[in-house]
């Protein structure tokens, strides 16, 4: 089995689990004492998170690392909305340069390494959900970026 096939199987094993409010049905990425939508304290039940959602909001910010050269990289945060859930998460690093074209795009929830975690060699690698574009979305945005560059003569 190839490393990429192993990685895909690991993603499937982790699944996308959320918590559904017993009163209103709203989904939350973390188990809460009270629902953020209706304030019900009904015990939430584990539920499958939708495969993805539409980008309702997007923000690009710098993340500086405390190193001698003070490297700063762009971190893109998105708010994905799907029926019953509104989930803020980081955009997958591989899609960061497509950020300007991702407004209102449908992105999937993907399991990726948590930024900044696992600095200690003995610590387990931490994972989190990030938003990731599928191949057709990537190709559509890259194509429109190339067209724009052609029109601008750059
Ligand atoms: Zn609720």
List the chain domain ranges: 1-48, 51-154
Question: Whole-model pTM?
Answer: 0.71
Q: Which residue has the higher pLDDT, 134 or 7?
A: 134
Q: Which two tokens stand for residue 91?
A: 């955009």
Structure tokens at 100: 């300007």
Who wins on pLDDT, 27 or 121? 27
pLDDT at 121 over 80: no
85-91 and 127-132 strand pairing: parallel
CA dist., res. 76 & res. 52, Å (int): 17
| Ligand 1 mean position, distance from CA 46 (Å) | 14
- Going from the Cα of 115 to the center of ligand 1, the distance in angstroms, rounded, reads 30
Q: What is the pLDDT of residues 62-108, one digit of tens each?
A: 665 555 555 566 689 999 998 878 888 889 988 988 988 999 999 99
Ligand 1 centre from 31 Cα, in Å? 12
Distance 78 CA to ligand 1 centre (A): 23
Rounded mean pLDDT, 1-10: 75
Per-residue pLDDT, 21: 92
Ligand 1 mean position, distance from CA 16 (Å): 20
CA 22 – ligand 1 centroid, Å? 7
Residue written as tokens 């929830």?
109
Residues 67 and 11: their CA atoms lie apart, in Å, by 32
């Amino acid at each position: 089995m190839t490393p990429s096939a192993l990685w895909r199987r690991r993603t499937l094993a982790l699944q996308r689990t959320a918590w559904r409010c017993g009163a209103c049905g709203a989904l939350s990425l973390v188990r809460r004492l009270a629902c953020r939508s209706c304030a019900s304290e009904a015990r939430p039940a584990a539920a499958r998170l939708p495969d993805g959602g539409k980008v309702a909001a997007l923000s690009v910010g710098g993340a500086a690392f405390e190193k001698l050269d003070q490297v700063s990289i762009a971190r893109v945060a998105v708010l994905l909305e799907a029926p019953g859930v509104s989930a803020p998460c980081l955009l997958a690093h591989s899609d960061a340069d497509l950020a300007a074209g991702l407004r209102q795009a449908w992105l999937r929830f993907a399991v990726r390494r948590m930024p900044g975690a696992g600095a200690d060699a003995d610590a387990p690698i931490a994972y989190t959900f990030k938003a990731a574009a599928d191949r057709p979305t990537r190709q559509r945005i890259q194509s429109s970026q190339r067209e724009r560059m052609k029109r601008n003569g750059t």
